[in-house]
A and B are shown apart, each in its own frame.
Chain A
Amino acid sequence: MSLVQTENLTKVYGKGDTAVTALDHVNLTVNPGEFVAVMGPSGCGKSTLLHLIGGLDRATEGRVLLGGHDLSRLDDVKLTELRRRQIGFVFQFYNLIPVLDAVENVALPLVLDGVKQNTARAKATAWLQKMGLGDRLANRPDHLSGGQQQRVAIARALVAEPALVLADEPTGNLDTRAGDEIASLLRQIADDWGRAILMVTHDPRIAAYADRIIFLKDGRVVDETRLSGNGTDETKRVMAKMEAI
């Protein structure tokens, strides 16, 4: 059974003459442990799709099934709980809490879930070490580089052991090297820890790390490609597809 399934997912912003259809009857699936990239030109609805799947926003029509739960049927309390336990978020601008240090930021979802401070901190520390940030535990976000901040954000996304990680342009704010590091980290998350990853990106090179790419245009799925794993060739293929769209 797939982890994520969308059925005729539609999102319309505004009303009447000013209405804009961001997503138009989108149907897709993400399987457990699968790394899926979503690509498409600006304004094609990539981020909207991610937000709907993550339960950050409500659909106008259609539904999202996550692990068998229909998100549209969950009230705010259940939805919040689901986000906390089942989903990890990685944003383009990291969105770390500026007044908390690295460990505290990572531990936050656990603490919010009522896990004891010590346990939460221990888990957070372990994840930060896995991300290569063992020597940056007590640093606040403004004392970390962009790449380091994003790794803290990834650790935060993983600390609650969610089945699904949603990443919105995770490398959009990073240089090439840091971007590659983050992309391979995501690959590793799927391969080693079996988490499903749904990543929105502009960058064909980064998308090439995924198992599968879904192309969106004007709110519709226009193409889908399964990748072989050969980085350079795949990048070229993806670029060609993007140009076609």
Chain B
Amino acid sequence: MNVQFTLAIRYLSGRKLRTVLTTLAIVFGVLVIFGMNTMLPAFMRAFQSNVLAAAGQVDATITLKTSDAFDANVAGNVAAVTGVRAVSGFLNRTINVPPGYFDGDSATAGTVTALSLVGINVAQATILHAYPIKEGRFLESGDSAAAVISKSLAEAIGVRLGETFTLPAAGGETVLTVVGILPARALPGNEEVLVTLPQAQTMLAMPGKINTIEANYDTLDKTRRAEIERAILGTLGDTYQVGSLASNSELLANMYIAQAIFSLLGVLALLMGGFIIFNTFRTVVAERRRDIGMLRALGANRTTITGLILSEGLVQGLVGTATGLVSGYLLGAGLISLLSPIMMQFLNAKLGSPVISLSLVIGSIVMGVGVTILAGLLPAMSASRVTPLDALRPPVGTISFKRLAGLGFWSGAAMIALAVVALITRNVGLIGLGGVLFILGLILMAPALVNPIANLFAALAAAIFARGGTAQLAEGNLSRQPTRAAITASTTLIGMAILVMAASMMSSIQIGFGRVMRKSLGSDYLLIPPSVSVWGTNVGASPKLAEELRAVNGVAAVSTLRFAPTQINGVAVSLLGIDPASYSQVSGLTFSAGTEATAYAALGEGRNIIFNPVLAASAGVKAGDEITLIAPTGQQAYRVVAIAGDFINAKIATGYISHANIEADFNRSEDVFLQINLAPQADTQATESALKGVLKAYPQFRLIAGQEYMEEALRLFNAAFAGMIVLVIFLAVPSLIAMVNTLAIGVIERTREIGMLRAVGATRRQVRTIIVTEAIILAAIGTAFGVLSGLYLGYMGVETIRAAGFPMEYVFPAAGVLLAVVAGILFGVLAAVIPARQAARLVIVQALRYE
């Protein structure tokens, strides 16, 4: 064995505790990088199929150009095309039923005159679509004469779970048993009756046939998707056609954004893993420098030193990385198998198995071994740049703020300024970059800020528990080596930042999302047209409907929306008419500029308009501006009185004016969406059936309880973002452990100083107090910065979700911040207790001799 390697092994085995702790840092670093990134694809896929499924969409729908049925085996040919991830064959037919077919009352038009019979291949279809069963169960492949229908259809035709209904079929009427009920249909199109594929084939007398193939692709990349589409047509021939999800669709855009967030989490994991490793090694740097100086004095040249550090890094890096890879995989796989049933049950999201790519393995090894070596080489390089004597000398003297506030400090300040600017732009990409800049900026500024902050916390500690000068001593220890303190504290920073980020996102999602939704859809009942938010295609109802509804016993208030398309500054705008007086009683906008009271009042007074945030941003308009609307009656000047939005129109450029104005300027008086509130003492059941009675004449509307609609929206939302929260928590936990690790190493490395303290008369108790105080101050600095960064990152996360089209308010995570502070202090104490006990027990002479 050569000398470098011998020395490396000796150093590693001679400092067992340090070696174990630093190797642990590598393990955690690699674990985060590897575990996170093996889980990411599974979560990302679950997310993509979920969003598509929840929206009732697929990447591609394949049919014959003639719309005829074809052989069911064709689905297999499509599945064989590279890039096609999932395929399912369907047989569906519209079945028209005569008036009164279900309710036996042929005098009035029935609520159901047409529905779709859909035969599905159960195993394949459940991969492509979400079927969130509310009652009973979903179809099973062996089922015959079984059907699953929506709650709204069940109510319309008057059947309950377990009951039967009949449908006209090729071989005469078929009796089907309702085995499961889905939520009320909120999508455009006919109500569907789901049966197994063989059942549908029998009913329609088309054995072995299907007429639609649906497929999902494995990529979001536009050119790749076009290639896959061409490949499918190439396989099937030109009698077939592929209907694809438009590449500029809003859904696809949302998925791009979500993919960016997931990738950002992966990058964050990479950064954090590297940082944990780097920081830990930087913590032991002072001692390294001295060792290197000694070796240099004995005649070791730079190559030998580099070789030594390389060997050490290699040994430690390989062991740590291997352990990290294995434990990262186990953790990822364990978490997925733990979460799979939960996600499946509540969110209908399938999680695949962890994905290991060669590039990820190589990347993790490069990070694990590379960062370890780099973190060791930096002190080695700086030690070999100075004379051996300088390397041997302990760094002494106070370091002035001026010296610390050099290039690093100011470039850090500039980065933070840029991050804040990025936040203002509200551009998701820039905000993401801003998050990284913000953390880097804080880390660069940290050394100069250690002294004042340490002073502050020392004063606090002195007042609370560390009397007799111990707090000042602890503070002095930190202030003397601000760079080392800053490095140790920055591990805490990262851990806390991620914790607070997770807390911000969760509180905003739970509170902010619910708040916007409740305000907007919190009425007792909603009357929903076939197409929500794309209002133009809907057939509305005359104001008579609202009058009839108001007359129903138990109804307290009815508010309606009217629609007219228009243009502002060349932007297509969906214009909604509201009744300023009743709207706020039943529903409500969430204001970001202007106030509720004045804005509604202004709408009732003249040509005033409220812009929703999307419109305000796309038209470049702010409250107080005058704008011109293109109306059938000519151009009309309106004044913008507020910026405010509601839930369902959040993604669409929308303006709100009064009923009176939309009628006068746009000639629109039909209601397209109605919300109903009941009186407090109303008999809910009686009122509901009375409402249904009124609605028989208006089959274009479905009556849905507000609560039910909200739950459904929340379910969709959770399906999309629950995975993301899990991943953020996955990042936070190892970083907290890493923080304890780094703090503990910091204490161990100062054994000698501790011996000195005991030698000059410090009692064991005082030594303990000093060390614990020091760790707490250090943790407090890290926590303070971490909370700041976390607030930024959390705000960023919320902004990103908002940009993805889910309206929500940012909610300050008070509980999360409190939790972070408590965790910071707790972990600080935890990290110090064991080394402090050890240090206090040390025989003084031995401690002094520790090098």
Interface residues of A (CB under 8 A from B): 51, 54, 56-58, 76-77, 80-81, 83-85, 89, 95, 97-100, 104, 108-109, 111-113, 117, 140, 142, 156, 160
A81-B298 contact in complex given A56-B387, A97-B291, C-beta closer than 8 Å: no
A76-B13 contact in complex given A56-B389, A142-B849, C-beta closer than 8 Å: no
**Whole-angstrom CA separation of A57 from B388 in the bound complex:** 7
The 7 closest A-B pairs by CB, nearest first: A84-B299, A99-B14, A56-B389, A99-B10, A80-B301, A111-B3, A57-B389
Q: In the complex, what residues of B have CB within 8 A of residue A98's CB?
A: 14, 851
> A108 near B298 (CB under 8 angstroms)?
yes
**Interface residues of A: mostly helix, strand, loop or mixed?**
helix
> B299 near A58 (CB under 8 angstroms)?
no
- A81's partner among B7, B301, B392 (CB-CB below 8 A) is B301
> A89 near B297 (CB under 8 angstroms)?
yes
Q: In the complex, what residues of A have CB within 8 A of residue B14's CB?
A: 98-99, 140
**Whole-angstrom CA separation of A161 from B389 in the bound complex:** 23
Q: In the complex, what residues of A have CB within 8 A of residue B300's CB?
A: 80, 84, 112
Residue of B6, B13, B300 with highest tally of chain A CB at under 10 A = B300
**Whole-angstrom CA separation of A51 from B294 in the bound complex:** 13
Q: How far is the CB of A198 from chain B (nearest CB, A)?
A: 15
> A80 near B299 (CB under 8 angstroms)?
yes
**Chain B residue with the shortest CB-CB distance to A88:** B298
Q: In the complex, what residues of B have CB within 8 A of residue A104's CB?
A: 6, 10
Q: How far is the CB of B16 from chain A (nearest CB, A)?
A: 11
B15 adjacent to chain A (CB < 8 Å): yes
> A112 near B299 (CB under 8 angstroms)?
yes
A156-B298 contact in complex given A51-B389, A57-B387, C-beta closer than 8 Å: yes
Q: In the complex, what residues of A have CB within 8 A of residue B295's CB?
A: 97, 112
Q: How far is the CB of A30 from chain B (nearest CB, A)?
A: 19
Q: In the complex, what residues of B have CB within 8 A of residue A84's CB?
A: 298-300
Q: How far is the CB of B304 from chain A (nearest CB, A)?
A: 6
Within 8 A of A (CB), among B364-420: 387-390, 392
Given A54-B297, A98-B851, A112-B299, 20 other A-B contacts at CB below 8 A?
A: A51-B389, A56-B297, A56-B388, A57-B387, A80-B299, A80-B300, A83-B297, A83-B298, A84-B298, A84-B299, A97-B7, A97-B10, A97-B295, A98-B14, A99-B15, A108-B298, A111-B6, A112-B301, A113-B299, A160-B299
> A99 near B11 (CB under 8 angstroms)?
yes
**Whole-angstrom CA separation of A140 from B11 in the bound complex:** 13
> A95 near B299 (CB under 8 angstroms)?
no
Q: How far is the CB of B392 from chain A (nearest CB, A)?
A: 8
Q: How far is the CB of B810 from chain A (nearest CB, A)?
A: 53
- B304's partner among A51, A54, A95, A112 (CB-CB below 8 A) is A112
B302 adjacent to chain A (CB < 8 Å): yes
A100-B10 contact in complex given A57-B387, A57-B389, A112-B3, C-beta closer than 8 Å: yes
**Whole-angstrom CA separation of A76 from B301 in the bound complex:** 8
User: How many residues on chain B are close to A (CB under 8 Å)?
Assistant: 28
Q: In the complex, what residues of A have CB within 8 A of residue B390's CB?
A: 57
**Chain A residue with the shortest CB-CB distance to B9:** A99
**Whole-angstrom CA separation of A158 from B3 in the bound complex:** 19
**Whole-angstrom CA separation of A141 from B360 in the bound complex:** 45
Q: In the complex, what residues of B have CB within 8 A of residue A109's CB?
A: 298-299
Q: In the complex, what residues of B have CB within 8 A of residue A112's CB?
A: 3, 295, 298-301, 304
Within 8 A of A (CB), among B599-655: none
**Whole-angstrom CA separation of A112 from B6 in the bound complex:** 11
A95-B294 contact in complex given A76-B301, A112-B3, A112-B299, C-beta closer than 8 Å: yes
**Whole-angstrom CA separation of A95 from B293 in the bound complex:** 10
B151 adjacent to chain A (CB < 8 Å): no
Q: In the complex, what residues of A have CB within 8 A of residue B297's CB?
A: 54, 56, 83, 89, 95
B296 adjacent to chain A (CB < 8 Å): yes
Q: How far is the CB of B600 from chain A (nearest CB, A)?
A: 72
Q: How far is the CB of B846 from chain A (nearest CB, A)?
A: 8
Interchain residue pairs with CB less than 8 A apart (10): A56-B387, A57-B389, A80-B296, A81-B301, A89-B298, A99-B7, A99-B14, A100-B7, A104-B6, A112-B301
Q: In the complex, what residues of A have CB within 8 A of residue B846's CB?
A: 142
**Chain B residue with the shortest CB-CB distance to A85:** B299
> A97 near B387 (CB under 8 angstroms)?
no
**Whole-angstrom CA separation of A80 from B392 in the bound complex:** 16
Q: In the complex, what residues of A have CB within 8 A of residue B291's CB?
A: 97
**Whole-angstrom CA separation of A76 from B381 in the bound complex:** 14
Q: In the complex, what residues of A have CB within 8 A of residue B392's CB?
A: 95
**Chain B residue with the shortest CB-CB distance to A111:** B3
Q: How far is the CB of A189 from chain B (nearest CB, A)?
A: 18
Q: In the complex, what residues of B have CB within 8 A of residue A156's CB?
A: 298
> B10 near A83 (CB under 8 angstroms)?
no
